[in-house]
Amino acid sequence: MVPQKFLEIQRWVAGQVSPYRLKHIQGVAQTAVRLAKRYGLPEEKARLAGWLHDCAKERTRAEMERWIRKAGFRMDPVEEKMPALWHPHAGAAMALLKWRIKDKSILEAIRCHTLGSPKMDPLAQVVFVADFIEPSRHFNGVNQVRATARQSLKKGVLAKASITIRFLFEKRMKIHPRLLETWNQFLLEH
């Protein structure tokens, strides 16, 4: 991608979200690049996916729905009832339709950043983990997850999945089956 287009995307993302979220997005991009370097993955793709992963997060439900429909993306019936899970799909739709990003691995990394997927490729794993451990995250145990992600990307995926599942379970909140599938699959692979 030409540097000019990347600058345009950065400027646009900054206009889509609150300063609080922008800080998170910058942190995810920075962390994704660091992990990509560590694991020999394309840094530019990691940076771009990091910048775009939450671009739709502050759009209304109606706007998100419109983008998802326009891109022809499908959500499963469980996701359809959970609007908090729409922004990854809407973000990928914006990346595709507004910015003409056709690289499947970048779009998948954006789409899978919240629930993961049992079939995530390494770039998607990087963004999934970076979303959880970027510098402005401050939950109990975050440093342990950062250390784990430095040792093994797949173990980093497992750490995010298990902590998120435990959190949702303890709060008696719904757990999307794909998050559990991510956990099950990476348990076999790591």
C-alpha 183/C-alpha 117 separation (Å) is 9
Residues 6+ apart with CB under 8 A from 114: 85, 87, 88, 131
Of the pair 167, 187, the CB lying nearest Fe ion is at 167
Of the pair 79, 131, the CB lying nearest Fe ion is at 131
Q: Near Fe ion by CB under 5 A, which window of 96-104, 123-131, 143-151, 169-177? A: 123-131
CB of 91 to Fe ion, least distance (A): 8
C-alpha 181/C-alpha 185 separation (Å) is 6
For Fe ion, the binding residues in 48-87 under the rule CB under 5 A are 54
CB of 28 to Fe ion, least distance (A): 6
Site size with Fe ion, rule: CB under 5 A? 2
For Fe ion, the binding residues in 126-145 under the rule CB under 5 A are 131
Cα-trace Rg, the chain: 16
CB of 4 to Fe ion, least distance (A): 26
CB of 132 to Fe ion, least distance (A): 9
Residues 6+ apart with CB under 8 A from 79: 85, 86, 89, 176
Q: Rule CB under 5 A: which residues touch Fe ion?
A: 54, 131
